[in-house]
Copies of this chain bind each other. A is one copy, B any other.
Amino acid sequence: MGFESVIKLAASETDNLWSSGHGSVVAITLFVTLLCTCIVIGHLLEENRWMNESIIALIIGLATGVIILLISGGKSSHLLVFSEDLFFIYALPPIIFNAGFQVKKKSFFRNFATIMMFGAVGTLISFIIISLGTIAFFPKMNMRLGVGDYLAIGAIFAATDSVCTLQVLSQDETPLLYSLVFGEGVVNDATSVVLFNAVQNFDLPHMSTAKAFELVGNFFYLFATSTVLGVLTGLLSAYIIKKLYFGRHSTDREVAIMILMAYLSYMLAELFDLSGILTVFFCGIVMSHYTWHNVTENSRVTTKHTFATLSFVAEIFIFLYVGMDALDIEKWRFVSGSMTTSAAVSATLLGLVLLSRAAFVFPLSFLSNLAKKSPLEKISLRQQIIIWWAGLMRGAVSMALAYKQFTREGLTVERENAIFITSTITIVLFSTVVFGLMTKPLINLLIPSPKLNRSVSSEPLTPNSITIPLLGESQDSVAELFSIRGQTSQGGEPVARPSSLRMLLTKPTHTVHYYWRKFDNAFMRPVFGGRGFVPYVPGSPTERSVRNWEEETKQ
């Protein structure tokens, strides 16, 4: 990760070299210590339903910021300055990749239409309402910004923070809600990129229908190219590992190739100005569907837990970092003269976030429900409330974008910009802590019993649940595969079962899945590997019995 600093060294060779001495060692030591502390405290407080690791990290970060502030005599909490690079290049990719790697693919793709609607149309609605709201209210508070800035604020606060969603919604307890809100968080990244780029060279007087269509076209182009890039990188990794058969010699090579190629997909997307989040998410899905099945059992255990651990540490790191950065004393001092304005701006933005999300969640859920016939597949009002609530959090992505738009090299020059930055920090802290703390209790209140909870999930206890084993056979999450690993070596051709025809007749909406499975088994898996299509890989402890059995039958 230090490349950056190396390049910086090359770029500005008159650079201040304070960093290469004691300073960076102190900062890294402190950060690693804090990360360990967060993990230990998080473990001790795990039984507590209200807390989660991100809130603990935020609080510890804030406390550390206070201590640094006191030690430096109130001069600075500037041990670190928020860096978008650090966030976008290093901390975000492992989180999103792991989400794609562990996502329940069945649940995700079944709700794909709704997710796309929320992520694209919903974010656009949210963007328009927040932009119009700030244009209407901000001038009254003596906050005068350019039109571009108002639109940027809309883009910054329109998007749900997918990292926060991962923390408050549980994939196992509320799979439908998880896939809807998290899926929306992934898709709205593409929307944000398009909106942000459009806002940069926005030309209101010349706005026309053609331009609007161009924006829509841009979104679909970006969505398609990012997805294709992620899928191709994932398939390439599967092909390389299958053809070269890394398991022959080295688990470490397989693990290294998987980690490096996952990261490569994100960096390639960034290089081509695509949405890295979308790319690495789909790369994760493809890797868990193909590549993961081509490696040794040890590699599977290792990659599963390594990706989860990296994601876990990156999440804690982000919240710790946001917590520490919140006390950026210079910006607060800037603002101290206009505390009322700052508070009013924060409250207005918070209100707009609440309103704009309500303005698309309920109407779009209504539309989505129209398309569904079974009442059990529909999104109930209680679920809609949770979707609205769980997507209210704004996190490090908002903060990174705010810094990008309203600071120059980490410094705020104008009063308006400083107020906006401190308001962003306020909203991020408030929404993460307050909304975050209240999400779990809210879910318990609205969907109380675990039994009811399951019945409204994406795996309903309805007659159609008989089709689940068929569809789910290879679309399950890695976590599920893991628990039923014993079946791994048995994977055959589930589409050949007699029930498939009946399914096709009774559930035509699921035929996409059916044809995909057919295509997957006929063309994709023979080339790229996957469950049941890879020869036995030696060195797998749980499959040792299988091998012994095979060897015995040969003799």
In the complex, chain B residues whose CB is within 8 Å of the CB of A7: 18-19, 23-24, 27, 79-80
Q: Does A298 contact B (CB under 8 A)?
A: yes
CB contact list, A1-19 vs B, under 8 A? 1-19
Say whether B2 contacts A308, CB under 8 Å: no
Contact bitstring A80-113, B, C-beta under 8 A = 1, else 0: 1101111001100000000000000000000000
Contact of A85 among B14, B20, B40, B271 (CB under 8 A): B20
Q: How far apart are A383's CB and chain B's nearest CB, in angstroms?
A: 28
What 0/1 readout, one digit per residue, does chain A (351-393) give for beta carbons within 8 Å of chain B? 0000000000000000000000000000000000000000000
Whether A541 sits at the interface, judged by CB under 8 Å, is yes
Chain B minimum-CB-distance residue to A91: B2
Interface residues of A, Cβ cutoff 8 Å to B = 1-20, 22-29, 31-33, 35-36, 39-40, 42-44, 46, 78-81, 83-86, 89-90, 240, 244, 246, 249-253, 255-257, 259-261, 263-264, 267-268, 270-271, 298-299, 301-302, 304-306, 308-309, 312-313, 409-411, 485, 541-542
User: How far is B79's CA from A31's CA once the two chains are assembled, in angstroms?
Assistant: 29
CB distance from A107 to the nearest CB of B (A): 22
Is the beta-carbon distance between A24 and B80 smaller than 8 angstroms? no
Asked if A249 contacts B46 (CB within 8 A), the reply is yes
CB-defined contacts of A89 to chain B, threshold 8 Å: 2, 24-25, 28
> What residues on B are CB-neighbors of A20 within 8 Å?
4, 83-85
Interface contact B33-A264, CB-CB below 8 Å = yes
Are B83 and A35 touching (Cβ within 8 A)?
no
Task: Provide the main secondary structure of the chain A interface.
Answer: helix
Query: Would B302 and A305 count as touching, CB distance under 8 A?
Result: yes
Which of B33, B44, B86, B313 meets A6, CB within 8 Å?
B86
**Inside 8 A of A19's CB, which chain B residues have their CB?**
4-5, 7-8, 11, 85
Q: Cβ of A252 and Cβ of B312 under 8 Å apart?
A: yes
How many monomers of this protein are in the complex?
Answer: 2
Question: Would you call B2 and A83 a contact (CB within 8 A)?
Answer: yes
Point out the residues of chain B lying under 8 angstroms from A86, CB to CB. 2-3, 5-6
9 nearest A-B residue pairs (beta carbon):
A1-B1, A12-B16, A302-B305, A8-B19, A2-B86, A4-B24, A29-B267, A11-B18, A5-B5
A262–chain B nearest beta-carbon distance, Å? 10
Contacts of A260 in B (CB 8 A): 32, 35-36, 39, 313
Known: A9-B410, A78-B10. A255 touches B309 (CB 8 A): yes
Question: Which of A26, A249, A301, A542: most chain B Cβ within 10 A?
Answer: A301
Can you list 19 contacts pairing A with B, beta carbon distance less than 8 Å?
A2-B89, A3-B24, A4-B19, A4-B20, A7-B80, A9-B81, A12-B15, A13-B411, A14-B409, A17-B409, A28-B267, A29-B271, A32-B264, A32-B267, A39-B253, A252-B312, A256-B309, A256-B312, A298-B301
Closest chain B residue to A404 by CB distance?
B20
Contact of A4 among B5, B79, B250, B252 (CB under 8 A): B5
Please, how many angstroms separate the alpha-carbon atoms of A42 and B17 in the complex?
A: 37
Query: Known contacts being A5-B5, A10-B410, A410-B10, is A39 close to B83, with CB within 8 Å?
Result: no
CA of A305 to CA of B255, assembled, Å: 8
Which B residue's beta carbon lies closest to that of A325? B6
Q: Are A305 and B299 in contact (CB under 8 A)?
A: yes
Chain B residue at minimal CB-CB distance from A35: B260
Supplied contacts A8-B16, A36-B261, A252-B309, 8 more A-B pairs, CB within 8 Å: A2-B89, A3-B24, A33-B264, A253-B312, A255-B309, A259-B313, A299-B305, A542-B542
